[in-house]
Chain A
C-alpha cells in the first residue's frame, strides 16, 4: 500500500456505502405508509370536531334561543332546556363520585400499601373485569337490582327509573378507573419515603395516611378528575336506569326520573324523541355532543396536568 493511500478513493466503496436503491425505496415507502396511518388519527379528530360544530351551528340557527331556557328538556315540543340536562349530569356524576371516590381510593391504598403480591395478582384482574363490564349491562343491573333492592327500600314509592340508581351504576363503572390511577400514583411514591416513616417508628396507618396519600395528591386529584370526565360521558347506564325518555322536567331530586346530556343523546338517537319534520330535535344531538366534548376535553386536560405533575415529582 502506498503512502497517502487514505486519500485515494475507492469508487466501488463509495457506491456501496450509499446502500441499494431498492432498500432505500422500501424504507421510504414503509415510512410513508406508517406516517399515513398516524395522520389518519388527526383526520379522525378533525372529522369529529367538524361534524360537532357543523351540527351545533345548524341547531343554533334553527331554534329560537329562548327555547334553551325552558321548563324542561322536551325536544319534540321544541323545549331545549339545557339546565335540566346539566343538572341531571351533575347529579348523576356527584352520586357516582360519592360512591367511587372513597371505594376507589381505599382500594388503591389497600393494593398499594397493604396487599401482598398474591392478593394483588388476584384482585387486580377482578378490577379489570369490572372495568370491562359493558355499561348497558350495568344499566340493567341498576334498573333491576340497585333500584328495587336499595333505592326503593331507602325511599319507598320511588319509580323503578330514578337518577340515584343510575348514579350508583355509573359510580360502579368509575371505581376501577379511580382505583387504578390513584394506585399508580401511590406506587410511584419512593420507597425511601416510606422507609423513613417506618424508621421513625410510624405504623402502617400513619405512613399510608400521613406520608403516602399526601405525596400522591396530584395523582389522586387526577384520578378524581378523570373519574368525573368518565362519569359525565357515561351514557347507557343512565339511558337504561334513569328513565326520562321522551323528555324530562328539571329536577335535582335523585329519587326522580331524569335526563343527562348523554342519555338525552341516546334517546334522541333511538327515535323516541324525534318526530317527523322536527329536524331541530335531531340537530340538538350535535349541540349536546359538542357540549359534552368540550366538558370532557377540559377535564381530561386538567387530569393530564395532574398526572404529569406526579411523574415530574419523582
Chain B
C-alpha cells in the first residue's frame, strides 16, 4: 500500500529529459514560422535602405517626374498615375460585376447544370496564372477591340486587370454572402419581402464588411500585377504624355508602378537599383495601405452570430 502510493506520484512526474524531442520539434516549428517573418522584415529593410536615400535626395521630385533614361531625372509620376487609374478601373468594372455575380450565385441561382457550370468555371478562372490573362488582354482588348480601346491603352490594361480579379472578387463576395445566417433571410421572407428586398435590405448590409475586405484585398493584388500588363501593352521605359487630356490618356500609352519597377530593375546603371527600391517603396505603401485597410475593416466588423 505504502509503496504503491509512493510509486504512483513519481510516475506522474515529468519524465525529465525524455521530452527533448518535443522541445526540438517545437523549436523547429518556431524557426519555420520566424523564417517567414524574417524574410518580410529583411525585404522591407533592404528596400528601405536602398530606396529612402532617393527620397532624401530628391524629395517630391521623384514622385512628380516622368520616367527618363537618365536616372537622376527619372521619376514615378506616370507609374503612380497609371496604378491609380487601374485601381479606378477595377473598382468600376470588376467590383460591380463580381458582386452581382456573387449575389446571383448565392441568392438567385437555381440548383441546375448552368449554375454548376458557372461555379466550376469561376473556380478555374481563379487558378489561371496572371500572365495568361495578359494574353487575353493582348488578343481581345488590345488587338480585337483595338479600334475601340485604342490598342495598347490604359483602357485595355484596365479591362485586363478587371478580368484578372473578377473571379477573386466573386469568390470572396460569395463567401461573405454565404456567411449571412439563413435565419435572417427567412425572417425577411416571412414578412413578405421579395427576393431582391431580402437581398438588398438584409443580406447585403450584413455581408458588406466581408465583401469590402475581399474586394480591397483583390484590389491590392491587382495593383501589384506586372506580367498581364506587360502583355497588354503597358509601356516599358519612357513615353511622353504631351498635353493630352485625361480622356485622351485613357486611349493612349500608359504604364503602372510594377512595370516601372520591372523596367528599372533590368537597367544596367547601378543608380537605377536605388530608384527601383524607391519605386518599390511607393508601390508597397499603396498596396500595404489597401491591405491594412482590409484587415482593419475585417477586424472591426467581424461579427459572431
A interface residues, how many (CB within 8 angstroms): 84
**Residues of B close to A143: CB separation below 8 A:** 265
Supply 16 further A-B pairs (C-beta < 8 A) apart from A233-B131, A235-B130: A30-B196, A35-B108, A37-B96, A48-B136, A106-B31, A132-B221, A132-B224, A133-B284, A134-B225, A141-B47, A203-B22, A235-B129, A239-B262, A240-B266, A296-B128, A297-B127
Q: Are B227 and A293 in contact (CB under 8 A)?
A: no
A194-236 CB mask vs B (1 if < 8 Å, else 0) is: 0000000001110011000000000000000010010011111
Given contacts A44-B125, A48-B132, A270-B236, A144 and B46 within 8 Å (CB-CB): yes
Cβ-defined partner of B39 (8 Å) among A144, A172, A245:
A172
CA distance A40 to B169 in the complex (A): 14
A235-B131, A292-B131 known; A41 and B121 CB under 8 Å?
yes
Please indicate the chain B residues that have their CB under 8 angstroms from the CB of A45 in the complex. Answer: 121, 124-125
CA distance A271 to B29 in the complex (A): 45
3 smallest A-B Cβ distances: which pairs?
A: A233-B129, A134-B224, A51-B139
CB-defined contacts of A114 to chain B, threshold 8 Å: 26, 29
With a CB–CB cut-off of 8 A, which chain B residues contact A208? Answer: 25
Which of B55-63, B68-76, B204-212, B273-281 faces chain A?
Answer: B273-281
For B100, what are the chain A residues with a Cβ–Cβ distance below 8 Å?
Answer: 33-34, 37-38
Per-residue CB proximity of B72-110 to A under 8 Å, as 1/0? Answer: 000000000000000000000000110011011100110
Within 8 Å CB of A292, what residues of B? 129, 131-132
Q: Which of A45, A145, A204, A297 has the most CB of B within 10 A?
A: A45
Question: Is B284 a contact of A47 with CB atoms below 8 Å?
Answer: no
Using Cβ atoms and an 8 Å threshold, which residues of chain A touch B166?
A: 41, 44
CA distance A239 to B228 in the complex (A): 13
Indicate if the CB atoms of B33 and A132 lie closer than 8 Å: no
* CB neighbours of B150 from chain A (8 A): none
Whether A300 pairs with B127 at a CB distance below 8 angstroms is yes
Give every chain B residue within 8 A of A30 (Cβ-Cβ).
196
Q: Nearest Cβ distance between residue A290 and chain B, in whole angstroms?
A: 9
Complex alpha-carbon distance, A54 and B138, angstroms: 13
Contacts of A26 in B (CB 8 A): 196
Write the residues of chain A forming the contact surface with B, with a CB cutoff of 8 angstroms: 23, 26-27, 30-31, 33-35, 37-42, 44-45, 47-48, 51-52, 54-55, 102-103, 106-107, 109-111, 114, 123, 125-130, 132-141, 143-145, 172, 175-176, 179, 203-205, 208-209, 226, 229, 232-236, 239-240, 245, 262, 265-266, 269-271, 285-286, 289, 292-293, 296-297, 300, 304
The reply to whether A297 and B227 contact each other, CB–CB distance below 8 Å, is no
B297 at interface (Cβ–Cβ under 8 A)?
no
Given known A-B contacts A41-B121, A136-B224, A236-B227, A103 and B277 have beta carbons under 8 A apart: no
- Which chain B residue has the least Cβ–Cβ distance from A161? B266
Query: What residue of chain A has the Cβ atom nearest to residue B258's Cβ?
Result: A136
| Choice from B28, B121, B129, B283 contacting A42 with Cβ under 8 Å | B121
Is B121 a contact partner of A269 (Cβ separation < 8 A)?
A: no
Q: Is the CB of B32 within 8 A of A38?
A: no
> How far apart sit A49 and B235, CA to CA, in the bound complex (Å)?
26
Chain A residue nearest to B225 (CB atoms) is A134
Q: Which of A33, A141, A203 contacts B46 (CB 8 A)?
A: A141
Question: Whole-angstrom distance between the alpha carbons of A280 and B209 in the complex?
Answer: 49
Which residue of the partner chain B has the closest CB to A245?
B266
The one of B121, B131, B167 that contacts A266, using a Cβ cutoff of 8 Å: B131
A-B contact count (CB 8 A): 239
What are 27 A-B pairs with beta-carbon distances under 8 A?
A: A31-B104, A33-B100, A37-B104, A40-B101, A44-B125, A44-B136, A45-B121, A48-B132, A51-B136, A127-B36, A128-B295, A130-B36, A137-B280, A138-B43, A175-B36, A239-B262, A240-B266, A265-B131, A265-B135, A265-B231, A269-B230, A285-B135, A289-B131, A289-B135, A292-B132, A293-B128, A296-B128
B157 at the interface (CB under 8 A from A): no
In the complex, chain B residues whose CB is within 8 Å of the CB of A55: 135, 139
B29 contacts A106, CB within 8 Å?
A: yes
B291 within 8 A of A: yes
CA distance A133 to B225 in the complex (A): 10
Partner of A34, one of B46, B104, B226, B287: B104
Q: Which residue of A lies closest to B229 (CB)?
A: A269
B170 part of interface (Cβ distance < 8 Å):
yes
Assembly CA distance A165 to B291 (angstroms): 27
Using a CB–CB cutoff of 8 Å, the interface residues on chain B facing chain A are 19, 21-22, 25-26, 28-33, 35-37, 39-40, 42-43, 46-47, 50, 96-97, 100-101, 103-105, 108-109, 117-118, 121-125, 127-136, 138-140, 163, 166-167, 170, 194-196, 217, 220-221, 223-227, 230-231, 236, 258, 261-262, 265-266, 273, 276-277, 280, 283-284, 287-288, 291, 295
Task: Tell me the minimal C-beta distance from A202 to chain B in angstroms.
Answer: 11
Give bound CA distance, A209 to B25, whole Å. 10
Query: Are the C-beta atoms of B226 and A236 separated by less than 8 Å?
Result: yes
Residues of A within 8 Å of B39, CB to CB, are 130, 172
Contact between B220 and A205 (Cβ–Cβ < 8 Å)? no
**Known interface pairs A47-B140, A48-B128, A204-B22; A38-B226 also in contact (CB < 8 Å):** no
Docked-complex contact A286 and B139, CB < 8 angstroms: yes
* Bound: A127/B33 CA distance, A: 9
- Is A145 touching B46 in the complex (CB atoms < 8 A)? yes
Report the separation of the CA atoms of residues A99 and B112 in the bound assembly, to the nearest whole angstrom: 43
B224 near A40 with CB under 8 A, answer no
**In the complex the two chains form, what is the Cα distance from A54 to B230 in whole Å?**
20
Could you tell me the distance between the alpha carbons of A287 and B164 in the complex, rounded to whole angstroms?
20
